[in-house]
Structure 1
Amino acid sequence: MAQQRVLIILLNYRTPEMTLQSAEAALRELDDLPGELLIIDNGSGDSSYTQIRRAAEARGWLDGNKVRVIASPVNGGFGAGMNIGFKTGLADGSTPAFYFLLNSDAFVQGSTIRTLRDFLLERPGAGLAGSFVRGTDGAPHRTAFRFPSIAGEFEASVRTGLFTRLLKPWVVAMEMPQAEVQVDWTAGASLMIRREAVEAVGGFDETFFLYFEETDLCRRAARAGWRTHYVPASEVEHIGSASTGMKGWQRTPAYWFDSRLHYFIMTHGRAYAAAATLARMCGSLLYGLRRLIQNKPQADPPYFLRDLCRHSLRALLAPGRASPNETRLPSPLAKEQK
């Protein structure tokens, strides 16, 4: 039915071959599912757009507007790229009933897209639904989360079983749910969103370049009355950080700190943001002490605590100096995309 059509939005940033693999997996579902695939090259600045378009044309994907390939002239980040997809809509100019956000390094398995769409169709109050995600090695990735908080920041940085047990209600990464469950937020690697939920919140906040944008979207959706669910019956295989290189960070990039701070300020205010940062610092210091005494491994990228302190003090004490948008582009950060 037309009112049940899905627009799959697949964002590419300098991973054309991987994007084509992800698109191919998604298109297998569109054989018997009403919808379209929109591939957006997010300002790669290389030959990605040309490669993807030529490959899509050679495979006959562009026939009948089932697949479209467009390009953004700039890389405004993950949320900005997805907002382009929201605004573009379907090929006939209409608006889909659902948007399915898919990472270029995520590959749907089985009936993932239909499962998420049907889940939302059957639950009028549910606005967003995310998948069970596993790595290419079969290891599950945690994608069911609670909203960040002061207690959650401390627990995440102190990395101690005692505090994890004491602060369990605030631990951001939930234990892997075995069945469908309502969550605070879930990852955007495979995320189905009802059109009305997108309209209620106006899409992603483009102040976030990378990271925390899904967290913010789910929180604003919750405030507008839309629930977020984790649906393990839908599954994707995910490489993870293929474009950002997060796993090999030698230094945490400025945009991560920008996004984290923006989230806390917009959600709770500057005083709360300062307290959350202090909690993270205290947890990191305690873990650093454990490293000295117990020979614990390094958990954060080099200079993380120093960079956190410097960034937070500069942003909180001189809030008018620059916003995350102003410090973001142009810079080497534009080379990285989720």
Structure 2
Amino acid sequence: MNILTVILNYRTPVMTADCLDTLAALPETTAGRMRAVVVDNASGDGSPERLESHVREHGHGTWASVMPRAVNDGFAAGNNAAIRVGLTDLTPPDAVWLLNPDTLVRANALAPLVGCLTANPNVGIVGSRLENRDGGPQRSAFHFPSVLGEFERAARTGPVTRLLARQVVAPPVPSGPTRTEWVSGASMLVRREVFDTVGLLDDGYFLYFEETDFCRRATRAGWDCRYEPASRVVHLVGQSTGLDERTHLPKRVPGYWFAARKRYFESGHGWCYARAADIGWLAGHLLWRTRQRVERRPDDTPPGLVADFIRQTWGSTGVSR
């Protein structure tokens, strides 16, 4: 397979350069079967020039290029800019590898993904095992969000999680290759024919839920989605977005997260289902708050979360950034 790798940069030129350096060591790169495009979403910090200089000085110019854009209109639109050009090329790629700028690919990370698509014609999307620098796994194979899944996610209570195990959006990391409902867009290989079938990523998402929505559309069109742990990719969680709940809480959940969640439920399931999911989340959060106060647990809730949830979900139709 010939692979087009797309990396979206927004004010993370150092991390993006490090990611490119790890790509340079892949066998597919040295054999000329992989080319990469770094899309810069109007960073305004000199990122395009710095990345072009890095590509030139490190000898990546034979397989990597930089695509500056004049506007920052989100993750989906930025990736689509490169995908659109690649798919209309005289020699379009057989698959597109979406890769976050805050990733470092391990040796031979691409080959298992390609192997999965080659061996399984019904598989349209396959994702990597994401891990920490020390090799510890991150959850990257998921179930689609649902009403009960929203309740479980907000409740954060052991008995509820066990009862609704099949609804948990982020189940435990699988021990081997497995079919899943969606995979993280931090490292996701997509067969070209999937784009032919369902189109590009939905530009209506600024950030978050775009890969969930894309996998859902692909699944409804008859494509399978797989998780392939033999493909190992280090993911420096949250360093490109500032939202890493494992190390610190953001001052406030950004409006575009609520807007993306709302778009996902309404576009895929309709207004009534979306409101049911909202009620499920609020009920779960109330349960968590009750438990937190009764057991005197530390309050790790982002400030203004419920007020923001209600205002952004029920009172806003636009995307707040």
Q: Is the shorter-chain TM-score for this pair beyond 0.5, marking a shared fold? A: yes
| Conserved 8 A contact 1:33-1:114 | no
Code of the aligned partner of 2:91: S
| Conserved 8 A contact 2:24-2:60 | no
* Structure 2 residue 150 is the aligned partner of structure 1 residue 153: yes
9-18 vs 91-100, which moves further:
91-100
* Structure 2 residue 113 is the aligned partner of structure 1 residue 112: no
Q: Paired residue for 2:251?
A: 250
Q: Paired residue for 1:85?
A: 82
In the alignment, the residues of structure 1 paired with residue 185 and residue 199 of structure 2 have an alpha-carbon distance, to the nearest angstrom, of: 17
| Conserved 8 A contact 1:27-1:37 | no
Structure 1, gaps ≥5 residues long: 316-321, 334-338
Q: Paired residue for 1:291?
A: 292
How is 1:1-338 mapped onto 2 (pairs within 5 angstroms)? 4-29=1-26, 30-32=29-31, 34-62=33-61, 64=62, 66-89=63-86, 93-247=90-244, 248-315=249-316, 322=317, 324=318, 327-328=319-320, 333=321
2:25 partner SS: helix
- Call closer, same or farther: CA 1:300–1:139 in 2, change over 3 Å: farther
In the alignment, the residues of structure 1 paired with residue 44 and residue 88 of structure 2 have an alpha-carbon distance, to the nearest angstrom, of: 25
1:140 partner SS: coil
Higher helix share: 1
Code of the aligned partner of 1:277: D
Identity of aligned residues (%): 38
36-45 vs 290-299, which moves further:
290-299
In the alignment, the residues of structure 2 paired with residue 98 and residue 242 of structure 1 have an alpha-carbon distance, to the nearest angstrom, of: 27
| Conserved 8 A contact 1:36-1:90 | no
Code of the aligned partner of 1:197: V
In the alignment, the residues of structure 2 paired with residue 284 and residue 209 of structure 1 have an alpha-carbon distance, to the nearest angstrom, of: 25
TM-score, length-normalised on structure 2?
0.95
- Call closer, same or farther: CA 1:41–1:200 in 2, change over 3 Å: same
In the alignment, the residues of structure 1 paired with residue 71 and residue 239 of structure 2 have an alpha-carbon distance, to the nearest angstrom, of: 19
Code of the aligned partner of 2:93: P
Q: State the Cα distance separating 1:271 from its structure 2 match.
A: 0.5
Q: State the Cα distance separating 1:33 from its structure 2 match.
A: 5.4
Code of the aligned partner of 1:25: T
Query: Deviations for 1:280-301, whole angstroms, at most 9, x for unmatched residues?
Result: 0111111111111102233431
In the alignment, the residues of structure 2 paired with residue 208 and residue 132 of structure 1 have an alpha-carbon distance, to the nearest angstrom, of: 24
Code of the aligned partner of 2:269: H
Q: State the Cα distance separating 1:92 from its structure 2 match.
A: 6.2
| Conserved 8 A contact 2:98-2:185 | yes
In the alignment, the residues of structure 1 paired with residue 126 and residue 237 of structure 2 have an alpha-carbon distance, to the nearest angstrom, of: 19
2:315 partner SS: helix
Query: Deviations for 1:130-177, whole angstroms, at most 9, x for unmatched residues?
Result: 011111243311001000000000000001111111111111112110
| Conserved 8 A contact 1:10-1:23 | no
297-306 vs 279-288, which moves further:
297-306
| Conserved 8 A contact 2:207-2:260 | yes
In the alignment, the residues of structure 2 paired with residue 285 and residue 91 of structure 1 have an alpha-carbon distance, to the nearest angstrom, of: 50
In the alignment, the residues of structure 1 paired with residue 20 and residue 143 of structure 2 have an alpha-carbon distance, to the nearest angstrom, of: 30
1:89 partner SS: helix
In the alignment, the residues of structure 2 paired with residue 212 and residue 288 of structure 1 have an alpha-carbon distance, to the nearest angstrom, of: 26
Q: Cα RMSD over matched residues?
A: 1.5
| Conserved 8 A contact 1:150-1:275 | yes
Structure 1 ranges of 4+ moved more than 3 A: 90-93
2:240 partner SS: coil
In the alignment, the residues of structure 2 paired with residue 191 and residue 163 of structure 1 have an alpha-carbon distance, to the nearest angstrom, of: 31
Q: State the Cα distance separating 1:90 from its structure 2 match.
A: 7.6
Code of the aligned partner of 2:110: I
In the alignment, the residues of structure 2 paired with residue 61 and residue 164 of structure 1 have an alpha-carbon distance, to the nearest angstrom, of: 47
Code of the aligned partner of 2:70: P
